Amino acid sequence: MSDPRGAGVRPGLLARLKAGLARSASTFSDAIASALGSGRLDQATLDQLEEGLIAADLGVPTAAALIAGLKEERLGKEASADEVRAVLAGRIAARLAPLARPLAPDPARKPHVILVAGVNGTGKTTTIGKLAARFKAEGHRVVLAAADTFRAAAIEQLKVWSDRAGATFVAGAVGGDPAGVAFEALTRAMAEGADILIVDTAGRLQNKAALMEELAKIVRVLKRLEPSAPHDVVLVLDATTGQNAIGQVEVFQSVGAVSGLIMTKLDGTARGGVLVAIAEKFKLPIHAIGVGETIEDLQPFEADSFARALTGV
């Protein structure tokens, strides 16, 4: 299948990332700029700043904590809009920086198994397609397992990505046992001496106990073949999701031992600020962000640029 938007002249990657994130930033920086009209940091300004953070999905407690820190330090002092933004960005970046860690498959493992999970529609399959292309470009032998046997045409969708990336593709029957597909894929990846196996799973809401149990079963079955697998369990979060993302991390972590996060859809106006709250609470590595639909649109997560874009520095 063709990808009309992948063709043609494309601006540089950095410019695209910036453009994507700048959209995220604009509203927030507007809020700060208007808040700082007077030049002196007062309570009304702080309230407006807090609202700016809330509107960026940071959530009330996280926003309140950040503003409290700012208040202690700066209340009543002269502060330009840029200074306040820089301080806020610095504080946010400081929380996120220790967690910025790209997915790094261990070459000693044959294969390094990556399980990808998340609620419906967050962009799991697309993200896997991008990951596969990247690993392939880096010279790895990649196997993709279509363990989403539930959603109609999910297997076909992954197949298209697999073909684009030039990966080996393993799928089972529609409606079949996802754990079975994972088992077969791992068996095959081991036999072929593949470097990386990425397992796609069906989207599931975290409050569906039976579906979460199914995910736990996939993990168990992988462990039966290779006790150290899965080596990464990546939870894909949608930047447009609000505070519910926190609950998603919590529940997925309890069943599947989530080892890292990828946040998608940061190319819209959603700011993904909930990631700051999540970082605070779970201290999970943040591997990458998705800023578009083509293969190059998966970027390593950078705390500085994320925080700066969030606050509009």
Partner 1 sequence: MFEALTERLGQIFEGLTRRGALTESDVTAALREVRVALLEADVALPVVKKFIDEVHAKAIGTDVIRSVTPGQMVVKVVHDHLVQTLGAEADELRLAGAPPVAILMVGLQGSGKTTTTAKIGFRLKERDRKKVLMASLDTQRPAAQEQLKVLGEQAGVPTLPIIAGEMPVDIARRALTAARLGGYDIVLLDTAGRLHVDEALMAEAAAVADVSQPAETLLVVDALTGQDAVKVAERFTQRLKPTGVVMTRMDGDVRGGAALSMRAVTGCPIKLIGVGEKMDALDQFHPARVASRILGMGDVVSLVEKAAETIDRDEAAKLEARVKSGKFDMNDLAQQFRQMRKMGGMDGLLAYLPGVQKAKAQLAANKIDDRMLARQEAIILSMTKTERKNVKLLNGSRKRRIAAGSGTSVPEVNRLVKQFIQMADVMKKVGRMDPKLLRRHGIPGLIPRA
List residues near partner 1 by CB under 8 A: 1-5, 23, 27, 51, 54-57, 59-61, 119-123, 126, 129, 150-154, 156-157, 159-161, 174, 205-210, 238-247, 265, 267-271, 274, 277, 281, 293
DSSP symbol at 290: E
Give me the helices (H) in 58-177, please: 60-74, 81-96, 124-137, 154-165
Q: How far is the CB of 248 from partner 1 (least distance, A)?
A: 8
Amino acid letter, residue 69: G
What are the strands of the beta sheet with 260-264, ordered from one edge?
Answer: 168-171, 142-147, 196-201, 112-117, 232-238, 260-264, 286-290, 298-300
Residue closer to partner 1 by CB (options 121, 180) is 121
What is the C-alpha separation between 196 and 46, in angstroms, rounded? 48
Q: How far is the CB of 147 from partner 1 (least distance, A)?
A: 16
Q: What angle do CA 170, 263, 203 make, to 5 degrees?
A: 45
105: CB partners within 8 A, 6+ apart = 112, 114, 135, 140, 195, 196, 231, 232
Q: How far is the CB of 244 from partner 1 (least distance, A)?
A: 5
Contact status, residue 175 vs residue 149, Cβ threshold 8 Å: yes
Q: Give SS3 for 42.
A: coil
Residue closer to partner 1 by CB (options 14, 60) is 60
Q: How far is the CB of 169 from partner 1 (least distance, A)?
A: 13
Residue closer to partner 1 by CB (options 60, 104) is 60
Contact status, residue 218 vs residue 115, Cβ threshold 8 Å: yes
Residue closer to partner 1 by CB (options 14, 209) is 209
Residue closer to partner 1 by CB (options 83, 243) is 243
Residue closer to partner 1 by CB (options 24, 305) is 24
